[in-house]
Amino acid sequence: MSKKLIWVLAAMSAQLAWAQGIEGKWRTIDDKTKQPKAVIEITQSGGVYSGRIVALAEGVDPNCGDCSGAQKGKPLVGQTVLRNLKAEGDGFSGGKLTDPKTGKTYSAKAELTQGGKALKVRGYLGVSVAGRTQVWQRVD
C-alpha cells in the first residue's frame, strides 16, 4: 500500500470519529477506585449539548444526599449533569458541569480522544488550569 493511500485512510477515519460526535452514552469512571460509576447520555438540540444520568453502577448511592437545594435527596438517575456545551474548534466548550455527588457546578469543556471512543471532560472554576479532568468511555 502506498504511503499516500495510508495517509488518506487515516485522515478519513479521523473524520469519521469526529462526525460521530459526542452524542450517545458515556460511562464515567471513579477517579479513586477506577470503577464505573454512571452512564451519561449526551444529546444535542440546536447546536447545544446536554447530558443526563441514565444508569448507575451497582453499589452507587442512587440518591444525591450531599446535594444542596432542590436536588438534595433526589434520585441521581434522570439528573442533568452537563448543560450548554457547544462545539468550538476541535472540541466543545462553554458548558456547565454539575458534580452529582456534591451538587456543585463548574464550567466545562470536552474533547474526543481515542478515535471517538473516549471523551475528556474538564470541569473548572475560573480558568481551565484550575480544574479536574475525567475520561469517559463510549458505551457501545
CATH classification at residue 48? 2.40.128.520
User: What does DSSP say about strands 105-113 and 131-138: parallel, antiparallel, or unpaired?
Assistant: unpaired
31 φ, ψ (degrees, to nearest 5) = -60, -35
> Is 1 a member of any domain?
no
pLDDT attached to residue 53:
97
> Is 83 a member of any domain?
yes
Q: Round to whole Å and give the CA distance between 127 and 140.
A: 33
> Is 7 a member of any domain?
no
> Is 9 a member of any domain?
no
Please, what is the Cα angle at 114 between 83 and 96, to 5 degrees?
Answer: 15
User: Each residue's pLDDT tens digit in the chain (140 positions)?
Assistant: 554 534 434 444 444 344 469 999 999 998 888 899 999 999 999 999 999 999 999 988 898 877 777 778 889 999 999 999 999 998 999 999 998 877 889 999 999 999 999 999 999 998 778 899 999 999 98
> Is 121 a member of any domain?
yes
> Is 5 a member of any domain?
no
> Is 98 a member of any domain?
yes
pLDDT attached to residue 103:
81
